[in-house]
Structure 1
Amino acid sequence: MSPSAISHLAWKSLSNRKTTAILTILTVAISVVLLMGVERIRTEAKSSFANTISGTDLIVGARSGSVNLLLYSVFRIGNATNNIDWKSYQEFRQNRSVEWAIPISLGDSHKGFRVMGTNSDYFRYFRYGHKQTLQMAQGKPFSGLFDTVVGSDVAKKLGYHVGSQIIIAHGLSDVGFSRHDNLPFTVTGILAPTGTPVDKTVHVSLNAIEAIHVGWESGAHLGGTPDVNWLQGQNIHPEQITAFLLGLKSKIHTFALQRQINTYNKEPLSAILPGIALHELWGMMSVAEQALMTVSVFVVIAGLLGMLSSLLTSLQERRREMAILRAMGARPKHIFILLVSEASALTFAGILVGVTVLYGLLAIAQPVIQQMYGISIGLSAISRYEWLLLCLIQLAGTVIGFIPAVTAYRQSLSDGMTIKI
């Protein structure tokens, strides 16, 4: 029998068992979707996190763990252990090794989105991705005391445009008693999408953060809050900030300045390198990654075992078919190749369906994941590692076909012809 004849026979055999074949293909497809989905989300999440900040040499905050400092200063996750004195920031801003510094102040919110106080240097020096600068989709950066620039997700979800007025709440719980109702902010700009936490942030000036908290001693509204006109007439300056980002004139000075900040005797500070802190974060998450990947591999194994079970079950029903093929001149090796071809074809079809379903699900889930978690899942081509995974699945599916093939190979002609129906 020629290879084309065996392929045609395998196709006819599978067509005759459509229901079983389709169920086997779906089992393999689900396995592929889970394995590839976990790998794609894992790699895209890492890429998205790594692209959140670029070109920053040091992140400085109150004394705490490096991962905690990275999470709240860059990803807006969690809270700082303490604030930093404004004089400390100014001292390091004027250090001869520092080219630029971006102060940030966190702690307030607006309808579930974090509010960040900063200054004009943020729009000038902050970089993300491959050293990309922040761009305005509409309007301009804030200039007045009660101006605000919102991220693209904030504007899209809440329907804001240039000129909209918003109310900021004290703390992360946006409830009635915590809102600064008498001090509305006006949206002067909307940032272009970045695929980073910037899209989910409301940006105001550091002076505005200081102004809205006049009368909020110890985090509680104990005194009367002055009105807008009075505050605008005052010379308000920040007294404390949450953290600041540093860009240095030369990378050579990074470790020397880091040591100087970590041993600063006026207040306890921590200076971290974003890349090293991110690597430490991945180290902490590696256990969860390995667990997910292990579960995915076992699902693939379960899918292949399901295909093996289906092939073995059908083989018992096809013993007469095998005997007839032998009687018509088919050699044992032809029977062997036929069954291996069927297993290989089922695995390939399962992989094809699985990859198609995966890309369809990613296309549907992409905006949801971006909106909820700030992770941009790109519909990029299959990577080299993903191709390796698919080839391993195909190889495993083909090898699985050896078991029923060997069984059929060993069946004698007389055994097949004497089966009672």
Structure 2
Amino acid sequence: MLFAAVYLQPADVPLLSGAVYEEVTSHERVSIAAPLAFGDTVDGAPVVGTTEGFIDHLAGDLAEGRSFASVTEAVAGARVPLAVGATFEPAHGVGAAAEEGAHEGERLTVVGRMAPTGSPWDRAVLVPVEAVWLVHGLASGHGADWDGTVGPPFDAASFPGTPAILVSAEELWANYALRSEFTRDNVMAFFPGAVLSRLHGLLGDVREVMSVLAVVTQVLVAAGVLTGLVILTQLYAQRLALLRALGAPARFVLGLVWCYAATLILGGALLGVAVGWAATVVLSRVVTARTDVLVTAHIGWSELHLVAGFATVAVTLALLPALVASSRDVVGDLRG
């Protein structure tokens, strides 16, 4: 489980200091403490400075290539359109405000690609945190005798600061202790999983509301179908009466009208499932493209049970207009 420690101070104190990082990394319960530095992009993908340990923790073994070993190398996320071996120059800023050419001459080479994680990290380019510091004219985090080796240990006195530190403990209970310990005046620790849990809870409430609306809609649809069947039996009353006059028994008319109604209901239900499945696929892709969070929504057994229940009730109720059609006055319908 991970949490990020971030400053909640005004712009004049925007970064976690080297002292905070040293305090976090020296904690006996911490197994991973990865600084995160950001602010640059490449073709819309964020360029995030971190450590090799964070990449291993995030995605495990790389799908292609190797991890970065110097400040001129990068690892691309699974959905970043940069092939291994490609070089790029990061732009300063994000979105429309990104300044192309602000880091002219600072080129990075993609040496690896992460396996898919189903998270926004698939759209990120990860580089050594030292590369982000140096490209912005900051210290390297290693002191004057640095030999170019990237990653920890960092020198607290030369640590330029970082917006966040991603922390993980070996035991679950230790994460809660760390959150309590590092939540204070100028630092906030939180669980990303807890934030997602609240989001999932909100979506669950929305799903319950949509389920109620779906039931109400199905009741209205069933009522509309039955009303339509009653109208149809009145429109075809003369033809049905002609069948009765030619010797067709009442049960034949009942079965004919009921089979017609059942065919309409079952055909509509199957068509609705197909349209719903197609809409689910399209909406999942749209949400994934806009949020960079892999969404794999699908039609499950609960939805199929709902459709099956609707079809069963509607087909059973369709016996009512069929009974009405089979018991109409033959002579009166023929004259009409």
Q: TM-score range by the shorter chain?
A: 0.7 to 0.9
Q: Separation in 2 of the partners of 1:406 and 1:178?
A: 79
- Alignment match of 1:172 (pick from 94, 118, 139): 94
Q: Contact conserved, 2:17 with 2:159, CA < 8 A, in 1?
A: no
Q: Check 1:179–1:232 CA distance in 2 against 1; reply closer, same or farther (3 A cut).
A: farther
1:317 Cα deviation after fit: 1.7
Bigger relative contact order, structure 1 or 2 (CA pairs below 8 A, ≥6 apart): 1
Alignment of 1:341 with 2:259, yes or no, is yes
* Amino acid in the other structure paired with 2:3: L
Equivalent in the alignment of 1:269: 187
- Alignment match of 1:242 (pick from 163, 174, 192): 163
1:368 Cα deviation after fit: 5.7
- Alignment match of 1:142 (pick from 49, 57, 68): 68
Alignment of 1:181 with 2:104, yes or no, is yes
1:103 Cα deviation after fit: 2.5
Pairing 1:308-319 to 2, within 5 Å after superposition: 308-319=226-237
Alignment of 1:418 with 2:335, yes or no, is yes
Query: What SS class does the counterpart of residue 182 from structure 2 fall into?
Result: helix
Query: What SS class does the counterpart of residue 111 from structure 2 fall into?
Result: strand
1:141 Cα deviation after fit: 1.0
Q: Separation in 2 of the partners of 1:295 and 1:179?
A: 53
Equivalent in the alignment of 1:397: 314
- Alignment match of 1:195 (pick from 96, 100, 118): 118
Q: Separation in 2 of the partners of 1:274 and 1:206?
A: 21
1:122 Cα deviation after fit: 1.0
Alignment of 1:62 with 2:7, yes or no, is yes
1:181 Cα deviation after fit: 2.0
Q: Check 1:268–1:370 CA distance in 2 against 1; reply closer, same or farther (3 A cut).
A: same
Q: Separation in 2 of the partners of 1:411 and 1:238?
A: 91
Q: Contact conserved, 1:93 with 1:101, CA < 8 A, in 2?
A: yes
Give a deviation string over 1:12-69, Cα, whole Å, max 9, x none. Answer: xxxxxxxxxxxxxxxxxxxxxxxxxxxxxxxxxxxxxxxxxxxx243333349xxxxx
Q: Separation in 2 of the partners of 1:63 and 1:399?
A: 62
* Amino acid in the other structure paired with 2:123: K
Q: Separation in 2 of the partners of 1:272 and 1:247?
A: 12
Q: Check 1:378–1:282 CA distance in 2 against 1; reply closer, same or farther (3 A cut).
A: closer
Query: What SS class does the counterpart of residue 69 from structure 2 fall into?
Result: coil
Q: Check 1:295–1:108 CA distance in 2 against 1; reply closer, same or farther (3 A cut).
A: farther
For structure 2, the 5+ residue unaligned runs are: 139-146
Equivalent in the alignment of 2:129: 206
* Amino acid in the other structure paired with 1:161: A
Q: Separation in 2 of the partners of 1:178 and 1:282?
A: 41
* Amino acid in the other structure paired with 2:126: H
Alignment of 1:153 with 2:153, yes or no, is no
Equivalent in the alignment of 2:249: 330
1:111 Cα deviation after fit: 1.9
Give a deviation string over 1:273-329, Cα, whole Å, max 9, x none. Answer: 333322212344456545655665566556545534542332122112333444435
Pairing 1:362-381 to 2, within 5 Å after superposition: 370-376=288-294, 378=296
Q: Separation in 2 of the partners of 1:307 and 1:195?
A: 43
1:187 Cα deviation after fit: 1.3
Query: What SS class does the counterpart of residue 154 from structure 1 fall into?
Result: coil
* Amino acid in the other structure paired with 1:385: S
Q: Separation in 2 of the partners of 1:411 and 1:179?
A: 85
Q: Separation in 2 of the partners of 1:374 and 1:400?
A: 46
For structure 1, the 5+ residue unaligned runs are: 1-55, 65-80, 127-132, 216-230
Q: Check 1:168–1:63 CA distance in 2 against 1; reply closer, same or farther (3 A cut).
A: same
More helix by share: 1
Query: What SS class does the counterpart of residue 179 from structure 1 fall into?
Result: coil
Q: Contact conserved, 1:359 with 1:379, CA < 8 A, in 2?
A: no
Q: What TM-score comes out, normalization by structure 2 length?
A: 0.78
What root-mean-square deviation, in Å, do the aligned CA atoms of Structure 1 and Structure 2 show? 3.5
Pairing 1:282-301 to 2, within 5 Å after superposition: 282-285=200-203, 288-289=206-207, 300=218
1:110 Cα deviation after fit: 1.9
Equivalent in the alignment of 2:180: 259
Equivalent in the alignment of 1:105: 37
Give a deviation string over 1:318-372, Cα, whole Å, max 9, x none. Answer: 11233344443523x6644543433232222222233334445666776665444
Q: Separation in 2 of the partners of 1:59 and 1:280?
A: 17
Query: What SS class does the counterpart of residue 75 from structure 2 fall into?
Result: strand
Q: Contact conserved, 1:104 with 1:244, CA < 8 A, in 2?
A: yes
Equivalent in the alignment of 1:83: 15
Q: Check 1:399–1:376 CA distance in 2 against 1; reply closer, same or farther (3 A cut).
A: farther
Q: Separation in 1 of the partners of 2:209 and 2:38?
A: 34
